[in-house]
Amino acid sequence: MPLRRPFRIVASLALAAAASVAAVPAQAAEDDPRMQLLVIGASPEAGLEGGLSGDRPIIAIDALPEAGDVKQEVFAARLRANPVSTFVSTPSDEGKQFEQFFLVARAALEPAGGNHRLSLGRAQFSMEDFAGRLGSAVQAFDPRHRRIGFLHIVDPADAFPRALPELQTALGGLGFDMMVLMIEGEGAACDTAQPLHYSLMAGLADRAPFGNADGASTVAEVESYLTGALARADARDCGPTYSLILKSGDDPNRVVVEGAMPPFVEMETRLYHETFEAMFLLESEDADTVHAFLESCVYCPREAELTGRLKAMEDTRRTAALEGEIWERIKADDTRERLAIYVENCALCEHRAEALARIDRIDAKAAAFERERKDFMLASEARDLPALRAYAADCVACTHKAEAEALISEIEADTAYMAERALLAEAVEMRDPLRLDEYLKTCTVCDGQDEVARTMEVLVRLKEVRDPCLKLAGLPQHDGPRKLEDIDQAQATAACAAALEEFPEDGLLRTTMGRIKQAAGDVAAAKAAYAFGMDREVPAAYGLAAYSHYAPTDGSRVDLDKVEELASTGAELGDWLSHEILTVIYSKDLVPGKSGEDAFDIAARIAEEGNPLAQFFVGYYYLTGTGTEPSDSEAEAWLKKAVDQGYTHAYSFLAELHERGTDGTPRPDMAADLYWAALEQGDPTATDRLTTQLNNRDREVVRIIQAKLREAGLYRGRVDGVAGPGTVSAIREYADTLKTQG
């Protein structure tokens, strides 16, 4: 099998017999659109995607007629091809049968002695005889312009290079503007080949993007179109072994196809799709898709642009790969100069940002080395965990990073540190300022100060939203009302709901909302709220829950064990109400093993904290000798503290002490003032002592009370200190009036 040779062996050979023929001026297609294609020894449908309709200007003959039979054979062929034929009866230059004539012939080349011969069918011809018969066949059509001839030569012996001079001489006399010789060996046919003669007759060489689309295909346009198509076939390793384009002259603007015949539907469809696909691919970055198109296209519009784009993409990909290889070699390099060379000389610079960042790190390491060394040494000597962590996380040179991480692990594994962190975690979770303070006072590593600060910020905000809620519905320990009936439910609900919207999981707010529910009679909601508070270890929740068991509203039996359990837990957490409940049940001997002494101890504990009720209890226990030795002076001191805080129930007991005088000197004026103040606040003890027990009062106290009644317009009797029915009646009337107003 002969070796394939480069396609472009001969770019342009002048046809010897026609080198001096002048170009014939082209006529407009609409003036004389007559066009004829003669196919000899080949199938007219070869290379077409679809069939061949009968209205095409095509005549096919299987063999070259004898010289004397040419006209008759051609005449017969024309009649067979066209039911209605037109002939010019008087031949002349103006009356030529066809305006444009095209030829396609297929023959075989073989050596014959010292010369060569061509075979067509079963007939064999010398070069001269073949050219003569072929010329006679063409002349029989009487064409005005012999445009383009295509000669397919089968050359199994690879004789064409030696036969070329004979072929050129023989074909030069045919008079075609262009002759295209395609010499075929044993190569495979192209799957994407096109019938070039039909493409040119359809004017594709002139159509955009191949030509200038002016309606006429010039020598330059046809040559460019043919060269591209034949070169593609050669590049795909199929099609002709040799291809030659022979021109009759050197004028590139000479028209060789004018008044193109309509293109075949399949041809037009494929070209249309390929044109749009080419436009899409010119915007694509997918080199594989562009390559696949160029390998499979038939007409390949904008091939040169796509080839250039593909080359650019391949160049870019190759450059990127090379630069990537270089980067892989130097990316972990600590040598600044090598990285700088990459930055200064890269073309695509895909890793430029990384290289610059690494250069910056190298520079930063150099600058930070000494400073970081000092920081590490100080942190290491002090076992300063936050400083060690900061060094390990933020170091640039990181010379001692491994040592820092090892020391961090050692400190974090220490049991004392873990206990310290557990305390902090609990304090943060519970938002307990006391535990946070305990952490700050007892910590040794103290790496949680930022967490403490953040939690304290939250607590500040929490206090801001809590305070209005607690003031309206909280317990006295939180500056709230002591009695449920003193809660303004509407205002309290609004304030507490607003706070809960911001802190929905806050135990104290939920507990306080439960107290509002209890005031409204919703005991179930109150108990649920207290349970929520106890889950979060809210001290007040235990006291309120204990009280709900001590004074059940549903008439159920009092569960003193549960009361003591809840109140004891609340008392341990510092809840005043829990202390108060324990004081009451112990002082009444309601719990086995507990007595007034226990009650006194509990009351004294929170009395010191400023609980006015506990202060009253301590004063009362000193007054009555409950759990302690009686002492009027101690009783007076503690009762005064309760009175000073406005605890009304203590007024009458302190008044009693003033009435008889703890130091042997009665103070009836002070006693009367306290009784009167308690009476005005609706205190039942004061009312009882000034009515039922009025006869037991000091006469001077009674006189002062009578004077106060007269000033109020409630008493008209004598102000003489005698506790008569008029005085008692006036006091009762005043007390009833206060109840009605309250």
pLDDT beyond 70 at 695: yes
> What are the φ/ψ torsions at residue 556 (nearest 5 degrees)?
-75, 165
DSSP symbols for 507-529: HHHHHHHHHHHHHTT-HHHHHHH
Reported as a single tens digit per residue, the pLDDT across 123-163 is 899 988 898 889 988 988 889 999 999 999 999 888 899 98
Q: What is the pLDDT of residue 8?
A: 38
pTM of this structure:
0.48
pLDDT classification of 13: cutoffs 50, 70, 90: very low
48-62, 290-304, 334-348, 574-588, range with the lowest pLDDT: 48-62
As a whole number, mean pLDDT of residues 360-370 equals 84
pLDDT beyond 50 at 25: no
- CA distances to 21, 291, 469 from 307, rounded to whole Å, are 38, 8, 80
pLDDT classification of 360: cutoffs 50, 70, 90: confident
Q: What angle do CA 525, 526, 531 make, to 5 degrees?
A: 95
User: Sign of the C-alpha dihedral, residues 493, 498, 499, 501?
Assistant: positive
Reported as a single tens digit per residue, the pLDDT across 75-90 is 666 666 555 555 555 5
As a whole number, mean pLDDT of residues 712-719 equals 89
Q: What is the pLDDT of residue 379?
A: 87
Q: Looking at the chain, how many residues does it have?
A: 742
Q: What is the pLDDT of residue 288?
A: 93
As a whole number, mean pLDDT of residues 254-269 equals 88
Supply the mean pLDDT for the chain: 86
Cα distance from N-terminal residue to C-terminal residue, the chain: 126
pLDDT classification of 582: cutoffs 50, 70, 90: very high
Q: What is the pLDDT of residue 428?
A: 87
Q: What is the pLDDT of residue 32?
A: 39
As a whole number, mean pLDDT of residues 720-731 equals 90
pLDDT classification of 214: cutoffs 50, 70, 90: very high
**Side-chain-facing half-sphere of 737: CA atoms under 13 Å:** 12
Q: What is the pLDDT of residue 662?
A: 81
Q: Is 58 strand, coil or helix?
A: strand
Q: What is the pLDDT of residue 98?
A: 83
As a whole number, mean pLDDT of residues 369-397 equals 89
As a whole number, mean pLDDT of residues 225-249 equals 88
Share of the chain above pLDDT 90, in %: 52
Q: What is the pLDDT of residue 85?
A: 54
Q: What is the pLDDT of residue 29?
A: 35
pLDDT beyond 60 at 26: no
Non-local (6+) Cβ contacts of 290 within 8 A are 281, 284, 306, 309, 310, 313
As a whole number, mean pLDDT of residues 332-344 equals 87
pLDDT beyond 60 at 185: yes
